[in-house]
Amino acid sequence: NWTPAHFVEETVQDLKDKVGDGKVVLGLSGGVDSTVAAVLLNKAIGDNLYCIFVNNGLLRKNEFDSVLEQYKGMGLNVKGVDASARFLRALSGLSDPELKRKAIGKTFIEVFDDEAHLLEDVEWLGQGTIYPDVIESVSVNGPSVTIKSHHNVGGLPDYMKLKIVEPLRMLFKDEVRRVGHELGIDSELLGRHPFPGPGLAIRILGTITEEKVSILQEVDDVFISGLRRWNLYDDIWQAGAILLPVQSVGVMGDERTYERVVALRAVESTDGMTADWVDLPHEFLQEISNHIINRVKGVNRVVYDISSKPPATIEWE
């Protein structure tokens, strides 16, 4: 009979047996899976777990600092690495979505590898892989990275030559959340909406600049904090804002403006594979639109995305 308490007890013992006094390095993303994996490992091996939390500069407003503080408050041995400038450089001039994803993935590996090299005698790589990831990597992409790494050791970054430890490998998302509650992890963190690895880079259509990132962070913050204030956040699978590569004419006082357009998107879903747009209250949309246009400099128009998946995807890129 599966219970979170039993899972925690058994897994912590297994991790102790498996890792012993070996060192583990793990990348934290701010998401549920990597956080729960880290807390379990920390419970088993304490400060022999070395966590690395990378700021790619494409997270939500204030997210890097606040989540880093949260991690420290949980007693994790974590190092925050601000690599924003490096990611921005890697993205410079790129507008194709897949090229952006590749540049971000490659930069992440480089940053993580650099950091992992600073640690001595690490034997293990911890990962927050969950059961749907295991299935997906086998059925869609062939053998997962961990399996491939055995065939390919030469070409991979050094940290990928480490032995892998994945304590959540057999769990579904809802079970991971229940384990997280059992471990005393903050329910706000456990209830976070999914957020894509490439972050705001795939919500800024076209090329990425520091200015665009900061405009989108402000817009997103107005939207997401509004959803929380109106108690809508927890009923939604995922929400966010998209910065469009067009300008539109507006009027402010006696002045004609020619500024940016943002789209808001909120969807209901159970697994992200299909999704319906959320019929948010009109008063809410009106309030958020006013706040954005009044408070975020450079934006003069807000639209709401009413497309479902399929045929649209959740992200615009």
Q: Considering only residues 95-124, where is the footprint of ligand XMP by CB under 6 A?
A: 101
Question: Which region among 57-65, 195-203, 256-264, 277-285 touches ligand XMP (by CB under 6 A)?
Answer: 195-203
Question: Using CA atoms, how far apart are residues 295 and 24, in angstroms rounded to an integer?
Answer: 45
Q: Exposure of 304 by Cβ count < 10 A (0-12 exposed, 13-18 middle, 19+ buried)?
A: middle
- What region does 258 belong to: left with phi over 0, alpha with psi -120 to 50, or beta? beta
Interface residue with ligand XMP among 129, 149, 238, 300 (CB under 6 A) is: 238
- Determine whether the annotation assigns residue 267 to a binding site: no
Q: Does 309 bind ligand XMP (CB under 6 A)?
A: yes
Q: Does 217 bind ligand XMP (CB under 6 A)?
A: no
Q: What is the DSSP string of 36-97?
A: HHHHHHHHHHGGGEEEEEEE-S-SSTTHHHHHHHHHHHTT--EEEEE-HHHHHHHHTT---H
Q: Does 197 bind ligand XMP (CB under 6 A)?
A: yes
Q: Does 315 bind ligand XMP (CB under 6 A)?
A: yes
* Amino acid identity, position 87: F
For residue 59, CA distances in Å to 40, 55, 143, 172 come to: 25, 7, 30, 25
Interface residue with ligand XMP among 79, 272, 298, 304 (CB under 6 A) is: 272
Question: Which region among 10-18, 55-63, 150-158, 191-199 touches ligand XMP (by CB under 6 A)?
Answer: 191-199
Closest distance between ligand XMP and the C-beta of residue 17, in Å? 32
Q: Which two tokens stand for residue 103?
A: 């540049």
- The binding site for ATP consists of 29-35
- The binding site consists of 29-35
Please report, as ranges, the residues that interact with ligand XMP according to CB under 6 A: 101, 194, 196-198, 238, 272, 309, 313-315
